[in-house]
Structure 1
């Protein structure tokens, strides 16, 4: 019983570790990271593949999380609801960074705040149910950048570029340039474009098929940190997005 429990624990440990490698990792990389002999890691990884909890790409020789994990995550997410599934990940993100975190989805030509967790020293002004412009916010830029191509083109051509501050984008060509940049670098930022004295960074929450689910951001007043300072939290933000991608239900 002890041996079986130990084996199960090791397998679960490898499964958790695979979540840290969204692009996949070799058996050697996983073994080294886990501190297991290669033979042990290889055997456990192949057991996870056989049960659907991991997937193996024979060309790249990479292991990654499997469809079974995604399916279970979707069942949990639907049971808990969109907001309930988001809360633990945002709370952890705020605790690890000390900054406010926000989850938003695309809602016609605006973003819709689904959930937020205020930082310990500052309350952000958006609340669940609030809607905001796409062109002035980091959340909106990410949602624009990762929307379906037809939706993205329609929005880029049609949204009203009303400025919220003197720093807001009002030129459509500049907005297109920034959205292309967001797609290339994988994140968006803004400094005083949406609210005076505030900066934010955001990343997409993407499904296993790279379909846009939501966007998650960190926001902070400039007296605490600036856009460059927030960029240092991009690794934590991306980990939160990866967690949310497994837990949030796909919107239809």
Structure 2
């Protein structure tokens, strides 16, 4: 009997690659939210040949992980994804834990408070709370995904990650940034400024009418995350930013202390 060489069989490597490609397609479709995503955009975003992407998407539709709109020819999450999600409740319910902080931030500023976490190479809007100001800043729905580094909340999330890991995430997303009128070089510069300041600010490049200020927290045994206030640009002048930043820093410290008392979640590799 011959000993194993320790190398992975080609078929096994191909299977792992297929799973990674499938996950990339699912993330891009989730990022599109209700609008759906067409084949050409999905192929370009994932680096797949259109014919390969089409075959994989059709298989996902057959399994009801995706649904295809025959009129627009776009792909959306399917019913099986929802059913699987119900069984995947996290051990650490970060959304529930952060709700009081979001409520206090919304009440204290009158603007919209967001909780954003890392999800692979993306920033995921996990929750938000609207303030009392009549003009609402709602550029992101709960569940929206975008590449790490796009917007104040997503910049602060990278700042919560270990430096080498954060820098690698920016490089990995380089091909995705042009869709948001950004480059990896610009995101890297803004990330360095965020690290130096201890908070992130947005300039309206993501959504022109709005501005944001965000602070990082987490990044150890809990996912890298941020608290962010987004408002119309007139309400986030520098003098008001300082007051809002103080509120954000206070709530981030409160959450850091609270998370230290929670049992650590089981590692998943997803963060």
TM category (shorter chain) comes to 0.5 to 0.7
Q: Give 1:158 deviation, angstroms.
A: 1.8
Output the TM-score relative to the length of structure 2.
Answer: 0.56
Residue-pair matches, total: 170
Aligned counterpart for 2:206 among listed residues 191, 194, 202: 194
Gaps of 5+ in 1: 1-77
Aligned counterpart for 1:221 among listed residues 201, 212, 232: 232
Alignment of 1:157-236 (within 5 A): 157-159=171-173, 160-164=176-180, 168-170=181-183, 172-206=184-218, 213-226=224-237, 229-236=240-247
Moved more, 155-164 or 93-102: 155-164
Aligned counterpart for 1:153 among listed residues 167, 177, 186: 167
Output the TM-score relative to the length of structure 1.
Answer: 0.60
2:93 aligns to what? Answer: 81
2:153 aligns to what? Answer: 139
Q: Give 1:106 deviation, angstroms.
A: 0.5
CA distance in 2, matches of 1:116, 1:201: 14
Q: Give 1:146 deviation, angstroms.
A: 2.4
Q: CA RMSD in A?
A: 2.6
When residues 180 and 79 of structure 1 are mapped into structure 2, their CA distance, relative to the original with a 3 A threshold, is closer
Is the Cα–Cα contact under 8 Å of residues 111 and 140 in structure 1 kept in the other structure?
Answer: yes
Aligned counterpart for 1:240 among listed residues 223, 238, 251: 251
CA distance in 2, matches of 1:126, 1:173: 24
Is the Cα–Cα contact under 8 Å of residues 117 and 125 in structure 2 kept in the other structure?
Answer: yes
CA distance in 2, matches of 1:125, 1:142: 17
When residues 87 and 195 of structure 1 are mapped into structure 2, their CA distance, relative to the original with a 3 A threshold, is same
1:73 aligns to what? Answer: none
CA distance in 2, matches of 1:210, 1:188: 22
When residues 222 and 157 of structure 1 are mapped into structure 2, their CA distance, relative to the original with a 3 A threshold, is same
When residues 227 and 139 of structure 1 are mapped into structure 2, their CA distance, relative to the original with a 3 A threshold, is farther
2:13 aligns to what? Answer: none
When residues 112 and 227 of structure 1 are mapped into structure 2, their CA distance, relative to the original with a 3 A threshold, is farther
SS state at 1:244 partner: helix
Is the Cα–Cα contact under 8 Å of residues 146 and 204 in structure 1 kept in the other structure?
Answer: yes
Aligned counterpart for 2:140 among listed residues 114, 126, 144: 126
